[in-house]
Chain A
Amino acid sequence: MKHKPGILSAGFALALLLGTGAQANANATTVTLRAEPEKNILLSGIGQDAMIKISIETSAAANEQKSRVNLCIALDRSGSMHGMNKIQNARAAAVAALNMLGENDRFSLVTYDSRARVLIPSTRVTDANRRELTEKINAVTLGGSTALFAGVSLAANEIAKCREAGFVNRIVLLSDGQANVGPSSAQELGRLGRGLVKEGVSVSTVGVGSDYNENLMTALAQNSDGNFYFVENSRDLSLIFEKELGSALAVAAKDVRLRIVCPPGITPKGILGHECRIHGQEIELDFNQIYAGHSKVLILQVGLPAAENGTEKTIASVKMDYLDNALKKEFSENRSVHLAFASDQSKVKGSLNKAVSADVALQQSALLREQALAEADKGNFSSSRKIMESAGTLLRKNAAITNAPAVQKEADIAAEEIRKLEKAKSAPSSYSRVRKEIIGNSFQIRNSQLFKQK
């Protein structure tokens, strides 16, 4: 195959990130869209998959102007919250959350056990009523089983009572047990989350202890574009609420819509760890919000046909529409991703974007670990271990190449998880605990959660 040095020397040794444009006010907005391939040059002559990192970055400057928050806390008061001061700590955390809200914010509280009820209807937080609200929170007592679905439904209804523009709508759902009244499967709650995100409501879920249903909690958070936290000790709840509200108070962009279009011949395979709509050559993905100072990382996987040596291709164009929360203006950004093909392996290796590669490895390892858990759930601990080890190997190798501290740290965590899983395989209770830890960790990586617990 004949090289085309002119083209290569024209800059395809590096990724071509072309901002095409439609930035309405480039000086004002703090949101940046980036799209970078893992390798800028791929091996020619073979069909292969390419990984592209799409990141939405915001600067912490957006933090200066806080959003108005419409917060509803859905508090589990089922019998399982008894002991270990769980309910007391949950109450304290809710009070701490209330105290973080300002005069323009709204607060509501839903409690649920075998029934769900609105304890504090959506109300504007003022200095005058803060004490009364605190007293109501502190009056929450324990009840029976766990009607989580009804709790979320009522919370969503309370949020819906104030649908003014400019509010960050957030439900913080706290649960320590298995939902056993109403729709209780991860799929059902996931669908509920998917519906709520369309209403502009995100549900951040907090699993307490070792009995909550992590699949359900992560599905709800994932589909509603919320965060997920796991706390073994309820003393940490206040910290979690603080982090959660800290992020909710500083939303840089809202109603973020990503549209990725691949040219004909290139197959969009999806975004790692995210459910997205794929229509032919298009992928669409929505986010309720992007927090200030946050970098949302998405790894797009596309299938490429064999290409000739020396050719270059545009493999995807990414369009992002969003509402700048600080400026209250809609913006649109476009990026295109180009790749070159070469037969020289060294060129291919040399074109590796280490930062992107590190993120790809992190996302892939998160998915692998979830796969490993799926195997372990079936009782196939040996195959689970193999998958876990492959995730560990992936991270270690990547760390060796990229020298990324995050990958190295994750490799260590993976190694620890392998050890824990090995120990826990004979004891269901400790397996459940390890599982929750891995799922939580994986969720936070997949969703580039702002506050990661590990």
Chain B
Amino acid sequence: MKWKLEHTILLLFLCAGTAAAVLGVFAFRLARHEEEFQKQQMANLLRSECKVFAERCRDTLESIKRELIRKAAGTGPEIRAIDRAVRTEPLFAEGFFTTADGLLRYPAPDSAFARRYEELFTGMISARHAESELFANIVVPADRAAYLSSRTLAKRDDSSRILPILPASPLKRKTAPGKSAGKTPERPEGSAVRPNAAFRKSLPAPAALKQMQAQRQSTLNEIAAAKSPSASEANRSPAMIRRFEAIIRNRNSGYIPWYNGNRFTPLVWARSGTASGGAVCGFELETTMLLAKLIPLFPDHLPSYFRIEFLDAKDKLIHSSGGERQGNTEAALIMPFSEQLLPNYQIRAYLLTDHLPRNSFHSILWMQLASLCLIILLAGGIALFLIRKQAGLARQKTHFVSQVSHELKTPLTSIRMYSELLKDHVSALSDEKRKRYLNVIREESERLTRLVDNVLDFGRLETNRRKYHPQPLDLTEILPKVCTNANDLLRRSGMEIRLTLPDGPIPVSLDRDTLTQILHNLFDNACKYAGAGKYIDVTLYPDSILVRDHGPGIPASARNKIFRPFYRIDNSLSAETSGSGLGLAISRRLLRDQGGDLVLEPNNHRGAGFRILLPPNPADHGADPLCRTTKS
């Protein structure tokens, strides 16, 4: 039974532990998932923040561009007017004007400006494919392959938006006359980029490139096909055309994102007057000023786990906002700033996971798991302790039963034996023998009674059914009587009580029977275990009674256990002394129930000493320290 219970408990623990472990693993997975989810949320937030910021920048750039074009349109094709505009407009670095067909008139052809924009003003492109190559300078500032391979997916995708532009007229009228009927010849700036939903989706780089090329080719084919019916018209128009002329053809104003080598030097231009045949006035924009206008738009108070960077075409950092990043942090988002207005400039957003706020869910989980483990351990510990205690108690009870049976059997055997002797040989026995036999029967009966009394007492004490009748007693009167009675019994064991009393009376409120019982228990123990000591010293103090024998004393290992019920120093049936192991436990309980106590005296001299601490007496009197010793 014991074995089974322990194993069941262990099994239960094991189950609970396994459940806790499974729960822990599950909780951790949940926490990790939660963390990933949070990270994802943060990344989404960063992306949207970034997009909003980019949108704001684009809007600002658009409005700047519109304003500058307006200024250009308001400037006449005169050196003085252009100079005045350059002198007053912070974003204008230099000005120029051309003829209606884009021939540079000012500055002079040998000027630094003209040299810088030679490719734009004097570079010739195929008139047939003019529109498609207009922005070649933007898309491919250097080596195309290197450009594409160096670009990120987002930028590649965005770069695909710069597509050949279908000629506005007359081709478009021919292909879609209904749609273009109400349009003015001027093409709005935004239409330079033909929106194409297919390209806006994220595609793998080669696929995007291939699709872009296919799209471009199809557009070129479309142009060629549209032009082929009017072969004569094609023959009339020149085969090559100046790039700038191609750009301003059929438009009144515009923005040209231009790269001079690695330096971005965009231009704005506008025809003077409303007529499309007017001279063109334009200005080179000061990129540093343009960038300086964008920097204040950066979100100032980004949390430290976000970082937004603004990079130029050479991937050089222009400005950043948010936390500091390590060199190897991967960007959460790379997007072009504006392929039309600031081509090749990028915005990069980073989610700095190291700086993310500590996951509170995670820590709560940890705490919960730790408390769960603690509770399991604590409960296990308590259960084990109780089991061990129960097991110990059961063992003691078994011993007790065997002991009591043995104890009962011994006097019963004597009683039975002597009573049979008396019955069978009553006439043959002398008076003296009969008397002795009857004495033995009486003694054994008394012993039996004491034993039964003790067991009953213990039972009552355990169930709190024991009734006390405390009464005022003078110990100086009671003690000599009890000791005298006890002496009669003790003398048979060759022992004697030596009583020491104080001079004055020691009043105490106690149940007289319990005091007698306690003292008898102590004397009985002294008889059993300290018979060799001959004397039992009983000393009465104002607050206690000390009972000391002169026997072998109590071993140190047993000193803490002797008051436990059923505890015996030698618990074996073959022990020299008999007993139930209840005497001391009962005595202590009886005293404690009445406000006193029974303690073991420190083992500082030979023999065992027990001190009965008397319950406090309200009418305490000053006891005379002088004692008188009485040999009773």
Residues of A within 8 A of B (CB): 114-118, 144, 147, 149-150, 152-154, 156-157, 181-183, 188-189, 191-192, 194-196, 198-199, 257, 277, 279, 284, 286
- Known interface pairs A114-B320, A182-B318; A156-B300 also in contact (CB < 8 Å): no
Q: How far is the CB of A179 from chain B (nearest CB, A)?
A: 12
Asked whether, in the complex, the Cβ of B318 is within 8 Å of the Cβ of A183, the reply is yes
Q: How far is the CB of B342 from chain A (nearest CB, A)?
A: 14
Asked whether, in the complex, the Cβ of B286 is within 8 Å of the Cβ of A195, the reply is yes
- A-side contacts of B430, CB under 8 Å: none
- B-side contacts of A116, CB under 8 Å: 295, 319
- Known interface pairs A153-B296, A157-B296, A195-B286; A279-B90 also in contact (CB < 8 Å): no
Asked whether, in the complex, the Cβ of A150 is within 8 Å of the Cβ of B319, the reply is yes
Bound Cα distance from A151 to B512, whole angstroms: 100
- Contact of B291 with A by CB under 8 A: yes
- From the candidates B88, B288, B300, name the one contacting A192 in the complex (CB within 8 A): B288
- Known interface pairs A144-B324, A195-B286, A198-B90; A181-B291 also in contact (CB < 8 Å): no
CB contacts under 8 Å to A, within B312-333, are 317-321, 324
* Pairs A–B under 8 Å by Cβ, sample size 17: A115-B319, A147-B320, A149-B318, A153-B295, A153-B296, A154-B295, A156-B292, A157-B296, A182-B319, A191-B287, A192-B286, A192-B289, A195-B90, A198-B89, A277-B83, A277-B87, A279-B83
Q: How far is the CB of B524 from chain A (nearest CB, A)?
A: 86
Asked whether, in the complex, the Cβ of A198 is within 8 Å of the Cβ of B87, the reply is yes
Asked whether, in the complex, the Cβ of B289 is within 8 Å of the Cβ of A191, the reply is yes
- Chain B 70-109, CB-CB to A under 8 Å as 1, else 0, gives 0000000001000100011111010000000000000000
Q: How far is the CB of B111 from chain A (nearest CB, A)?
A: 11
Asked whether, in the complex, the Cβ of B292 is within 8 Å of the Cβ of A192, the reply is yes
- Interface-central residue, A114, A147, A154, A182, by most chain B CB under 10 Å: A182
Asked whether, in the complex, the Cβ of B87 is within 8 Å of the Cβ of A152, the reply is no
- Known interface pairs A115-B321, A192-B288, A198-B90; A154-B83 also in contact (CB < 8 Å): no
Asked whether, in the complex, the Cβ of A195 is within 8 Å of the Cβ of B296, the reply is no
- B-side contacts of A286, CB under 8 Å: 87
- B-side contacts of A157, CB under 8 Å: 292, 295-296
Asked whether, in the complex, the Cβ of B292 is within 8 Å of the Cβ of A284, the reply is no
Q: How far is the CB of A173 from chain B (nearest CB, A)?
A: 13
Q: How far is the CB of A270 from chain B (nearest CB, A)?
A: 15
- B-side contacts of A181, CB under 8 Å: 317-320
Bound Cα distance from A149 to B293, whole angstroms: 11
- B-side contacts of A114, CB under 8 Å: 320, 324
Asked whether, in the complex, the Cβ of A188 is within 8 Å of the Cβ of B324, the reply is no
Bound Cα distance from A181 to B89, whole angstroms: 26
Bound Cα distance from A150 to B308, whole angstroms: 14
How many A-B pairs have beta carbons closer than 8 Å: the answer is 79
- Interface-central residue, B291, B296, B324, by most chain A CB under 10 Å: B296
Bound Cα distance from A241 to B318, whole angstroms: 29
Q: How far is the CB of A378 from chain B (nearest CB, A)?
A: 23
Q: How far is the CB of A102 from chain B (nearest CB, A)?
A: 27
- B-side contacts of A118, CB under 8 Å: 300
The interface size of chain B toward A, counting residues with CB under 8 Å, comes to 24
Q: How far is the CB of B160 from chain A (nearest CB, A)?
A: 29
- A-side contacts of B91, CB under 8 Å: 195
A-B pairs with the 7 shortest C-beta distances?
A195-B289, A157-B296, A153-B292, A153-B295, A195-B90, A198-B90, A192-B288
CB contacts under 8 Å to A, within B580-597, are none
Asked whether, in the complex, the Cβ of A279 is within 8 Å of the Cβ of B288, the reply is no
Asked whether, in the complex, the Cβ of A154 is within 8 Å of the Cβ of B317, the reply is no
- A-side contacts of B286, CB under 8 Å: 191-192, 194-195
- A-side contacts of B300, CB under 8 Å: 117-118
- Chain B 271-315, CB-CB to A under 8 Å as 1, else 0, gives 000000000000000111101110110001000000000000000
- Interface-central residue, B90, B286, B318, B320, by most chain A CB under 10 Å: B90
Q: How far is the CB of A425 from chain B (nearest CB, A)?
A: 33
- A-side contacts of B291, CB under 8 Å: 149, 153, 182-183
Bound Cα distance from A286 to B91, whole angstroms: 16
Asked whether, in the complex, the Cβ of B288 is within 8 Å of the Cβ of A195, the reply is yes
Asked whether, in the complex, the Cβ of B88 is within 8 Å of the Cβ of A152, the reply is no
- Known interface pairs A117-B300, A157-B295, A279-B79; A191-B93 also in contact (CB < 8 Å): yes
Bound Cα distance from A199 to B90, whole angstroms: 6
Bound Cα distance from A150 to B317, whole angstroms: 11
Bound Cα distance from A279 to B90, whole angstroms: 20
- Interface-central residue, A115, A116, A147, A191, by most chain B CB under 10 Å: A115
Chain A residue nearest in CB terms to B84: A284
Bound Cα distance from A60 to B133, whole angstroms: 62
- Known interface pairs A279-B79, A279-B83, A284-B83; A196-B319 also in contact (CB < 8 Å): no
- Known interface pairs A117-B300, A150-B295, A150-B319; A198-B88 also in contact (CB < 8 Å): yes
- B-side contacts of A194, CB under 8 Å: 93, 286
- A-side contacts of B79, CB under 8 Å: 279
- A-side contacts of B321, CB under 8 Å: 115
Bound Cα distance from A188 to B324, whole angstroms: 25
- B-side contacts of A284, CB under 8 Å: 83, 87
Chain B residue nearest in CB terms to A190: B288
Q: How far is the CB of A393 from chain B (nearest CB, A)?
A: 35
CB contacts under 8 Å to A, within B509-555, are none
- From the candidates B87, B292, B293, B320, name the one contacting A115 in the complex (CB within 8 A): B320
Bound Cα distance from A316 to B320, whole angstroms: 50
- A-side contacts of B87, CB under 8 Å: 198, 257, 277, 284, 286
- B-side contacts of A117, CB under 8 Å: 300
- A-side contacts of B319, CB under 8 Å: 115-116, 147, 149-150, 153, 181-182
- B-side contacts of A257, CB under 8 Å: 87
Q: How far is the CB of B471 from chain A (nearest CB, A)?
A: 84
Bound Cα distance from A383 to B299, whole angstroms: 51
Q: How far is the CB of B301 from chain A (nearest CB, A)?
A: 9
Q: How far is the CB of A338 from chain B (nearest CB, A)?
A: 26
Q: How far is the CB of A222 from chain B (nearest CB, A)?
A: 15
- B-side contacts of A144, CB under 8 Å: 324
Bound Cα distance from A15 to B83, whole angstroms: 32
13 additional contacts (CB under 8 A) given A144-B324, A191-B289, A192-B292: A114-B324, A153-B292, A157-B295, A181-B320, A182-B291, A183-B291, A191-B93, A191-B288, A192-B286, A195-B288, A195-B292, A196-B289, A277-B83
Chain B residue nearest in CB terms to A257: B87
Bound Cα distance from A115 to B90, whole angstroms: 24
CB contacts under 8 Å to A, within B367-400, are none
Bound Cα distance from A188 to B295, whole angstroms: 15
- From the candidates B93, B292, B324, name the one contacting A152 in the complex (CB within 8 A): B292
- Known interface pairs A115-B321, A199-B90, A286-B87; A188-B296 also in contact (CB < 8 Å): no
Bound Cα distance from A181 to B324, whole angstroms: 13
- From the candidates B83, B89, B90, B318, name the one contacting A196 in the complex (CB within 8 A): B90
Bound Cα distance from A149 to B294, whole angstroms: 12
- B-side contacts of A154, CB under 8 Å: 295-296
- B-side contacts of A198, CB under 8 Å: 87-90
Q: How far is the CB of A129 from chain B (nearest CB, A)?
A: 20
- From the candidates B88, B288, B293, B317, name the one contacting A188 in the complex (CB within 8 A): B288
Chain A residue nearest in CB terms to B302: A115
Q: How far is the CB of B565 from chain A (nearest CB, A)?
A: 74
Bound Cα distance from A181 to B296, whole angstroms: 15
- B-side contacts of A191, CB under 8 Å: 93, 286-289
Chain A residue nearest in CB terms to B294: A153
Q: How far is the CB of A285 from chain B (nearest CB, A)?
A: 10
Q: How far is the CB of A190 from chain B (nearest CB, A)?
A: 9
- Interface-central residue, B87, B288, B318, by most chain A CB under 10 Å: B288
Q: How far is the CB of B392 from chain A (nearest CB, A)?
A: 68
Bound Cα distance from A157 to B88, whole angstroms: 18
Bound Cα distance from A74 to B74, whole angstroms: 36
Q: How far is the CB of B97 from chain A (nearest CB, A)?
A: 14
Chain A residue nearest in CB terms to B297: A157
Q: How far is the CB of A350 from chain B (nearest CB, A)?
A: 41
Bound Cα distance from A152 to B321, whole angstroms: 15
Chain A residue nearest in CB terms to B321: A115
